[in-house]
Structure 1
Amino acid sequence: MNAKIHFNVDPVVRKNLDFSLDKIGRHWFGNDPFKSRFFDSVSLLFPDGERYFIESVRQFRDLIRDEKLNQEVGDFIRQEAQHSIAHSKMNNVLESHGLPVTQITAEANEIFQWMSNNFSPRFNLALTAAFEHLTALMAESFFAEKAAFAEADPFVRALLAWHSIEEMEHRDVAFDVMKTVGDVPESMRKVALVVAVLHMFGIGLIRTNELLRYDGYSKVERLKLFSSGLPWFFGRKGILPKMNKQFFSWFKQDFHPSQHPVIAQYDVWVDVLAQTQDPIQAGQAFWEAGRE
């Protein structure tokens, strides 16, 4: 694939995309309970997490004097709002499968509210920038190679492909707000990524265990599922460690998200959506354009 290399792309707000999520099965990732429930646990965090990101950046919007950055912040807010809506629809499907969605999302809301109320605005902004760095890297790790999501349900894969595209588009917005008007010390910026990782994966794995328990798996069965599933994510040859170089670049003094190229098949998704107006076809083409 002769892909055009982008190091920076502007956010584009896309509304009312239909991913036909009502068609997905209970264990939609290759009938693998662990992989399915891990991604479900992250989806359950997204609606309140996106609202937290929006509010954390909005706290500083009145200080922004750069017109382009101000426009990007507006697009970032609108994109994150659409992500919240889409993942709420996904969560409604999970609830129809008998999962305790209302309970878990209420707990997620309490956690994000606690963070907003107890952390300083500067640290909440730094955390948001760190989460955006993390999610952009996760997007690439999931879609850069076809094998990673080969067994995923095409409708959920399309949802995550769209979300990944927009993470690439706005990955530097919160960071630029932080560097321009946030007055965030370097030590705080670096600590924020550690906290973001512990939050996302710590809570994600706790929720994965809870969802598997609701699926009826015993403690011993859940332990076996974790033992076989965790290496796929975090093992030496897992999908996340492939992004270690980009991940650790956050700790360099001169780091900026745009130092890393946007995922190679970005234009494929954008072009197919423009041609078909169908995010499912765009998601399929995006996945198929990944490396073998």
Structure 2
Amino acid sequence: MMPVRRDVHPHLPPERICDWHERGHHVTHYINALSIFFPAGERFFMDSVRNYRDQLTDPALRQAVAGFIGQEAMHTREHILYNRLLDQAGLPAARLERMVARLLDLLRRILPRSWQLAHTIALEHYTAMMAGGLLADARHLGDAEAGYRQVWTWHALEETEHKAVAYDVWNAVMKPGPYRYLVRAGTMLTTTVTFWMLVFAFHVRLVMADRTCPHKLLGFGSALQYLWGSPGVLRRMVPEWLDYFRPGFHPWDADNRAQLARIGPLLAEIEATAVRAGASPRAPSIRGA
């Protein structure tokens, strides 16, 4: 599976940034909280893989790394714009982004490059699991506002397309054996605790800062139902999360590449939505990286 860099520009109505999901503000802000992690997170992923690019001898893997970096760069750009809409709505997105950036800068300073890559493959597995669930179950986005549904679907498709690249780099540059497994498994455990603590904290911060959000405390029940009830976004991820700890695990063990057939129609839909909205559409371009 070869990732392809696509220059995509979804149209996001600013007035809907706080309530674009059909389930209301609390579910909207759970997903908005995930966006806050992407600018700094995607840069960390790119750097972690780029650190080992010169050590790769397989031409196909080197090409896949170039495509991975190209896609992550586009995701970074679009989530910077997305998060700017949160700031314009009076929400503390920039402040929270800086917290993520400081944490990842600390990891760059104190961790060896191999452990940075281990954090990347753990977080890439999370993005792959979330993307896979979103693509497999239409209830994840439901009848969301078109632009926001499109940006998250596009991101999910490309996360699926490149979900094994960082892991393949890990396997190529790390000597097989107990140490490789223990670092991979241990990092997933620590990443799980840190990541979800921050997601919860950011979710609460966004909800409490949203002056248009009704029932701020009671409304968290709708998010809990979304995550653990129906559709059970997090509940359905548990088996795939556990699968990561198998010694022979590989991201493509969960083979959902058939979903990638949706990319072409989605690009056309994104452009059509921009035209209908009266935006100046920048036609999505596709370039092999």
Q: Please say whether Structure 1 and Structure 2 have the same fold, judged by a TM-score greater than 0.5.
A: yes
Are 2:49 and 2:117, in contact at CA under 8 Å, matched by a contact in 1? yes
Whether 1:190 and 2:181 are equivalent positions in the alignment is no
State the percentage of identical aligned residues. Answer: 28
Q: CA deviation at 1:274?
A: 6.6
For 1:244, the equivalent position in structure 2 comes to 238
Give the AA of the match of 2:198: I
Summarize the Cα distance change of 1:107–1:243 in structure 2 as closer, same or farther, 3 Å threshold.
Answer: closer
Q: What residue ranges of structure 2 are gaps of 5+ in the alignment? A: 275-289
Correspondence for 1:71 among 63, 66, 73: 63
Q: CA deviation at 1:30?
A: 2.0
TM-score of the two chains, using structure 1 as the length reference: 0.85
Are 2:46 and 2:72, in contact at CA under 8 Å, matched by a contact in 1? yes
For 2:284, the equivalent position in structure 1 comes to none
Are 2:157 and 2:259, in contact at CA under 8 Å, matched by a contact in 1? no
Q: CA deviation at 1:232?
A: 1.5
Summarize the Cα distance change of 1:47–1:279 in structure 2 as closer, same or farther, 3 Å threshold.
Answer: farther
- Superposed CA deviations along residues 127-176 of structure 1, whole A, max 9, x for unmatched, are 11111111111012123122221132221110011111111111011101
- Superposed CA deviations along residues 19-76 of structure 1, whole A, max 9, x for unmatched, are 1113551221126121111111110110000001111111111211111111111111
TM-score of the two chains, using structure 2 as the length reference: 0.85
Q: What residue ranges of structure 1 are gaps of 5+ in the alignment? A: 1-8, 282-292
Give the 5 Å matches for 1:154-165: 154-165=146-157
Are 1:140 and 1:263, in contact at CA under 8 Å, matched by a contact in 2? no
Counterpart CA distance in 2 for 1:73 and 1:27 is: 36
Whether 1:203 and 2:195 are equivalent positions in the alignment is no
For 2:254, the equivalent position in structure 1 comes to 260
Q: CA deviation at 1:237?
A: 5.9
Correspondence for 1:176 among 168, 183, 191: 168
For 2:220, the equivalent position in structure 1 comes to 226
For 2:73, the equivalent position in structure 1 comes to 81
Counterpart CA distance in 2 for 1:258 and 1:35 is: 29
Q: CA deviation at 1:263?
A: 5.3
Are 1:125 and 1:182, in contact at CA under 8 Å, matched by a contact in 2? no
For 1:270, the equivalent position in structure 2 comes to 263
Counterpart CA distance in 2 for 1:214 and 1:274 is: 33
Are 1:11 and 1:76, in contact at CA under 8 Å, matched by a contact in 2? yes
Give the 5 Å matches for 1:18-57: 18-25=9-16, 26-30=18-22, 32-57=24-49
| Helix, strand or coil at the partner of 1:14 | strand
Are 2:21 and 2:28, in contact at CA under 8 Å, matched by a contact in 1? yes
Counterpart CA distance in 2 for 1:57 and 1:11 is: 14
Counterpart CA distance in 1 for 2:256 and 2:131 is: 10
Q: CA deviation at 1:222?
A: 4.0
- Superposed CA deviations along residues 194-218 of structure 1, whole A, max 9, x for unmatched, are 2232233221110111111211499
Q: CA deviation at 1:92?
A: 1.2
Q: CA deviation at 1:95?
A: 1.3
Are 2:139 and 2:231, in contact at CA under 8 Å, matched by a contact in 1? no
Correspondence for 1:94 among 86, 91, 95: 86
| Helix, strand or coil at the partner of 1:224 | coil
Whether 1:136 and 2:131 are equivalent positions in the alignment is no
Summarize the Cα distance change of 1:49–1:279 in structure 2 as closer, same or farther, 3 Å threshold.
Answer: farther
| Helix, strand or coil at the partner of 1:21 | coil
Tell me how large the CA RMSD over aligned residues is.
Answer: 2.4
Counterpart CA distance in 1 for 2:64 and 2:167 is: 12
Q: CA deviation at 1:13?
A: 0.5
Correspondence for 2:102 among 110, 126, 132: 110
Counterpart CA distance in 2 for 1:111 and 1:270 is: 33
Counterpart CA distance in 2 for 1:279 and 1:165 is: 19
What is the aligned length?
270
Whether 1:148 and 2:143 are equivalent positions in the alignment is no
Give the AA of the match of 2:6: R
| Helix, strand or coil at the partner of 1:251 | coil
